[in-house]
Amino acid sequence: MIRPIALPVAVLSVASLLAMVMSVGIGSVAIAPADVLSVFLGEGSNLHRTLILDLRLPRTLAAFATGGLLAVAGALMQVLLRNPLADPYVLGLSGGAAVGALLAMLAGLGGAVISGSAFAGAMLATVMVFGLAHGTGSWTPSRLLLTGVVVAAGWGAVITLILAISPARELPGMLYWLMGDVSYARAPWHGLGLLVVVCALVVPLGRSLNVLARGPMQAAALGISVRPLEWLIYVLASLLTATAVTMAGSIGFVGLVVPHMLRLVLGNDQRLILPACALAGGTLLVLADTLARVVIAPEQLPVGVITALLGVPTFLYLLYRSR
Amino acid sequence: MARNQRPSMQTLSARDLIIDIPGRADGYPLDLTIKSGQVWGVLGPNGAGKTTLLHTLAGLRSPRAGALYLDDVTTKALKRRALSQQLGLVFQDRQDGFPATVLETALIGRHPWLAPWQMEGADDLAMAERSLEALDVLHLKDRLVSTLSGGERQRVAIATLMTQSPHTWLLDEPTNHLDLHHQVAVMKLLTDRAAAGNAIFMCLHDLNLAARWCDHILLMYPNGEACWGSAERMLVPNALERLYNQELATVEVDGAPFFVPRRS
């Protein structure tokens, strides 16, 4: 809690900018970084302008927002449940969103309806888990976790059922959605806006989260109103996850591993970890999406596969190297 | 350190307090005031409710009846943060879910004194280091708490309370896991704090530490009875034998009674 915050945040900011410039430059038509820069300065050829501003930039920003949202949500969930295995989906939120999205696809609806339906499903899952975990008494992290895991299993069964009864032509779209895919994300602004707002809101709460990570009793003895703070974290993390899932389907792994990687390197001060998660999660997903576009071009891979393939070895290496 | 100066020292009192132990009948109501300069020891067998009492005094549990006051103000009217500037508690068991260093752990004691956007400053750091020094763990400040021994962790926890620097210190078996030298060092530190104007209220299992260092004693019986008063009046063999259901032999060492369990 005494490490300087500015330096890591600056390094990660530069890294995410570089990743984004690279991401908009790479593709079926390669664009040199200098040309990318000139497009942002309002110059450059029409082809480049269309390629970058209309096609690649929205997708890159959507990938960044999704990764950032998931990583911050994961870090918050880990503090809330005081369980290092928690990720944004651990309470079954992605299952609810998936059921919503798949039902919309099954009904032959497209675009905005799928997103809206996914968001509604995510929110339903959130309220359901919290209500059930609350039960007749007060909830504890372990009870919340258990309820979430069981409800998630239920959603999994419903997803399998929908896949089984869906017509074959709908299946590829559904599978891509389930594995996570930013190629349909075209409106990154609300996601980016939410990410910025939540980071601005959460950083002043960072020290309280540090204290909460020591357990609820210690936190209460140090002057924290534990229950309202836990509610706030739960609502924020759910909102972040629901937004991310709505934008790009359920991309696994980012929310679990990015916070852990950063903790291994930067320590466990939430005031640093939360903004660092936003930047590093975003960068990871931008890189993964770039790879997903180019590895078997002109075909594309679901980005969730790439995040796992990139992240698993990196994480295992850091874990192996640490004490 | 002007910005963190406490507004005033406030005295904690319990009025007709009955602690809430689930599944147990109401105990004897407690009516006591923990004044500046006093060192209280709470004695009682396992399960008598010592920890529950400490948690209730710290405002972490609601009492079944009665109320707590800081001076004349009921603690219910105070915000958690204001309360934690006056009252601090060392827990009997701690959880370390996420890795943290010794210095970071002591620094969280400053939490009640800092505004939400405020970072710990140089004076907070100096306070944490002074506390670690006083508990003889400063040399461990960069170690992860999870790598320490039980006694070292206990001292870090007390250093965290010292960094919090509330007026009233509540401690749940502060000498747990400590070797003889550090037991004495901690008791000496606590009595020094009391002499400097703090109030100390701790649960102890060691009768003889209580006899040597405490000036006020609260005896808690398993059936809910309780009695309290000055140490000389409370620490009499008959009462203690009934308290622990254990025969005791008493000798005098350095002018204070020393209790040894009989073999019987």
**For residues A148 and A323, which has the higher predicted lDDT (pLDDT)?**
A148
Q: Superfamily for B9-88+165-261?
A: P-loop containing nucleotide triphosphate hydrolases (3.40.50.300)
- A186 falls in which pLDDT band (50, 70, 90)? low
Q: Do A308 and A252 contact (CB within 8 A), yes or no?
A: yes
Q: What would the mean pLDDT of A29-50 be, rounded to a whole number?
A: 80
What is the distance between the alpha carbons of residues A92 and A86, in angstroms, rounded to a whole number? 11
Task: Report the gap between the CA of A142 and the closest CA in chain B (Å).
Answer: 13
Q: What would the mean pLDDT of B75-81 be, rounded to a whole number?
A: 90
pLDDT for B196 equals: 94
**For residues B203 and A183, which has the higher predicted lDDT (pLDDT)?**
B203
pLDDT for A2 equals: 47
E strands within A107-213?
Answer: none
Task: Report the gap between the CA of A22 and the closest CA in chain B (Å).
Answer: 35
Q: Percent of chain B having pLDDT more than 70?
A: 96
User: In this complex, do A2 and B107 lie within 8 Å of one another by their Cβ atoms?
Assistant: yes
Is A224 within 8 Å of chain B by CB?
yes
Q: Percent of chain A having pLDDT more than 90?
A: 25
Chain B residues with CB under 8 Å of A212 CB are none
Give me chain A's average pLDDT, please. 85
CB-closest option in B55, B99, B114 to A268: B99
Is A223 within 8 Å of chain B by CB?
yes
Q: What would the mean pLDDT of A103-109 be, rounded to a whole number?
A: 86
| pLDDT higher than 80, residue A111 | no
- A136 falls in which pLDDT band (50, 70, 90)? low
Find, in chain B, the residue whose alpha carbon is nearest to that of A260.
B98
What is the distance between the alpha carbons of residues B59 and A221, in angstroms, rounded to a whole number? 8
What is the distance between the alpha carbons of residues B212 and B257, in angstroms, rounded to a whole number? 8
Is A227 within 8 Å of chain B by CB?
no
Chain B residues with CB under 8 Å of A221 CB are 58, 60, 84, 87-89, 91
Q: Do B110 and B120 contact (CB within 8 A), yes or no?
A: yes
Q: What would the mean pLDDT of B14-41 be, rounded to a whole number?
A: 93
* Backbone dihedral angles phi then psi of residue A97, each to the nearest 5 degrees: -65, -40
Strand order in the sheet with B65-70: B30-34, B12-18, B65-70, B73-74
**For residues B238 and A86, which has the higher predicted lDDT (pLDDT)?**
B238
Rg (CA), chain B: 19
CA B94 to chain centre: 15
Secondary structure (3-state) at B220: strand
pLDDT for B174 equals: 95
Give me the helix-helix angle, A57-81 and A270-294, nearest 10°. Answer: 140
| pLDDT higher than 60, residue A42 | yes
pLDDT for B48 equals: 92
Segment A5-19, tens digit of pLDDT: 788 889 999 999 999
Chain A residues with CB under 8 Å of B96 CB are 214
Find, in chain B, the residue whose alpha carbon is nearest to that of A215.
B95
Chain A residues with CB under 8 Å of B164 CB are 222
How distant, in Å, are the alpha carbons of A124, A133, A150, A217, A262 from that of A136? 20, 9, 18, 21, 38
CA A248 to chain centre: 9
What is the distance between the alpha carbons of residues B49 and B124, in angstroms, rounded to a whole number? 35
pLDDT for A27 equals: 77
**Cβ neighbours of residue B130 closer than 8 Å, sequence gap 6 or more:** none
User: In this complex, do A222 and B94 lie within 8 Å of one another by their Cβ atoms?
Assistant: no
Q: What is the residue extent of each domain of chain B?
A: 9-88+165-261
Is A142 within 8 Å of chain B by CB?
no
| pLDDT higher than 50, residue B2 | no
Q: What would the mean pLDDT of B63-90 be, rounded to a whole number?
A: 92
What is the distance between the alpha carbons of residues A107 and A273, in angstroms, rounded to a whole number? 41
Chain B residues with CB under 8 Å of A2 CB are 103-104, 107, 120, 125
Tally of helices (H runs) and strands (E runs) in chain A? 15, 0
Domains of chain A: 6-321 (1.10.3470.10)
Nearest to A262 by CA among B131, B99, B33, B121: B99
| pLDDT higher than 80, residue B96 | no
Give me chain B's average pLDDT, please. 91
Whether the full predicted model's pTM is greater than 0.95, yes or no, is no
Nearest to A297 by CA among A55, A62, A29: A29
Segment B239-256, tens digit of pLDDT: 999 999 999 999 988 888
What is the distance between the alpha carbons of residues A214 and B98, in angstroms, rounded to a whole number? 8
Chain B residues with CB under 8 Å of A275 CB are none
| pLDDT higher than 90, residue A133 | no
Q: Which of A116-130, A299-313, B188-202, B210-224 has the lowest mean pLDDT?
A: A299-313
pLDDT for A137 equals: 61
Residue B223 sits at the vertex; the CA angle it makes with B222 and B225, to the nearest 5 degrees, is 95
| pLDDT higher than 80, residue A291 | yes
Segment B121-152, tens digit of pLDDT: 899 999 999 999 999 999 999 999 989 999 99
- B7 falls in which pLDDT band (50, 70, 90)? very low
A82, A203, A222, best to mutate vs chain B, most B CBs in 10 Å: A222
| pLDDT higher than 90, residue B203 | yes
Query: In this structure, which long-range contacts are made by residues B234-241, counting pairs with CB atoms below 8 Å and at least 24 apart in sequence?
Result: B235/B207, B235/B210, B235/B211, B235/B259, B240/B43, B240/B207
CB-closest option in B60, B125, B164 to A220: B60
CA B74 to chain centre: 21
Q: Percent of chain B having pLDDT more than 90?
A: 80
pLDDT for A287 equals: 92
Is A228 within 8 Å of chain B by CB?
no
Structure tokens at B86: 């006056």
A142, A201, A211, A217, best to mutate vs chain B, most B CBs in 10 Å: A217
| pLDDT higher than 90, residue A32 | no
CA A217 to chain centre: 30
Determine the residue type at B225.
E
CB-closest option in B79, B95, B111 to A222: B111
Secondary structure (3-state) at A69: helix
Segment A200-219, tens digit of pLDDT: 888 889 999 999 988 888 99
User: In this complex, do A1 and B95 lie within 8 Å of one another by their Cβ atoms?
Assistant: no
ipTM of the complex: 0.89
Q: Do B42 and B218 contact (CB within 8 A), yes or no?
A: yes
E strand or H helix that includes residue B16: strand B12-18
Q: Do B49 and B19 contact (CB within 8 A), yes or no?
A: yes
- B4 falls in which pLDDT band (50, 70, 90)? very low
- B5 falls in which pLDDT band (50, 70, 90)? very low
Task: Report the gap between the CA of A205 and the closest CA in chain B (Å).
Answer: 6
Q: What would the mean pLDDT of A277-283 be, rounded to a whole number?
A: 95
Torsion of CA B218, B55, B85, B73, to 10 degrees: -70
Produce one character per residue of B233-244: b if its CB has 16 or more CB atoms within 10 Å, e if not: ebbeeebbeebb
The H-assigned helical ranges of B27-149 are 50-57, 80-86, 102-107, 122-134
